[in-house]
Amino acid sequence: MAEDLQVCSPEPFVGTQQFEVPIATTIIKINEIKGVSFTMPVCRRPIIPLWGVGLNATTGAYEFLPSTKNNEIFFIELAKSVYNASQNFVAGTTATSNNQYIANNGQNYGSYLSRKLSSDTCLFNRYLEVYNKVYQFFNLHGAIGAFNFAIFQELTEILIPKVMREADKQMYMPPGFYFFTTAFGANPVVTALDAWSTADANITALFGLELVTT
């Protein structure tokens, strides 16, 4: 058992599906050592990543990456790895695991997903369905050659509202610091990001939704 697993288990969100909680948007940085590892700090609030973005050095704005299409499997692998990181945290194997959750700046929710999902496969499927929505949107979409107003409308008027409306609010990824590596063998989430960054070197972050819990 992880040494800092609290007796009164921390919850990043407490409430029923009907409980009204504001939802905002956020940028989630990913820092990659290509083919080896990457980190994903999640700041203070639970998140659902929706698509890839790149930083426009001229404007300072993060812009939607059309390359999200054809790399949407990354979101499924990320969801699996985040859950696995929680399992490793509870097992006390963080230092020797490919998927790691590290408590960061008071954000100690490492046990959350393991406690929520480990008791039944159907609960894990409920969690994964949140990220299936993202996968399915891009997988079924036609080619995305460029970011234009039509794509902007689809993202903001179809994908975002669908996820906000249908996702179980207790199935968001909890805050903290995530480290994904290949140090202990093959890791599908690192492979998926490596393929994405090979296809598009501009992938530096993810755009996502966050629960306004603080």
Residue 207, domain member (yes or no): yes
Position 1 confidence tier, pLDDT thresholds 50, 70, 90: very low
Kindly report the backbone phi and psi dihedral angles of residue 4, in degrees, each rounded to the nearest multiple of 5, phi listed first: -100, 20
Residue 33, domain member (yes or no): yes
- Which pLDDT score, from 0 to 100, does residue 6 have? 44
Residue 71, domain member (yes or no): yes
Q: In this structure, how many other beta carbons lie within 10 angstroms of the beta carbon of residue 72?
A: 21
Residue 102, domain member (yes or no): yes
How many structural domains does the chain have?
1
Residue 7, domain member (yes or no): no
Pick from 63, 47, 82: which is nearest to 164 by CA? 47
Residue 186, domain member (yes or no): no
Average pLDDT of every residue of the chain: 91
Residue 54, domain member (yes or no): yes
pLDDT at residue 143 greater than cutoff 50 = yes
Greatest Cα pair distance in the chain: 51
- Which pLDDT score, from 0 to 100, does residue 5 have? 44
- Which pLDDT score, from 0 to 100, does residue 2 have? 47
Report how far residue 41's alpha carbon sits from residue 29's, in angstroms, rounded to the nearest whole number: 7
Domain ranges, residue 107: 23-180+200-211
Residue 172, domain member (yes or no): yes
pLDDT tens string 100-118:
999 887 779 999 999 999 8
Q: Tokens 């994903």 sit at which residue?
A: 40
pLDDT at residue 14 greater than cutoff 90 = no
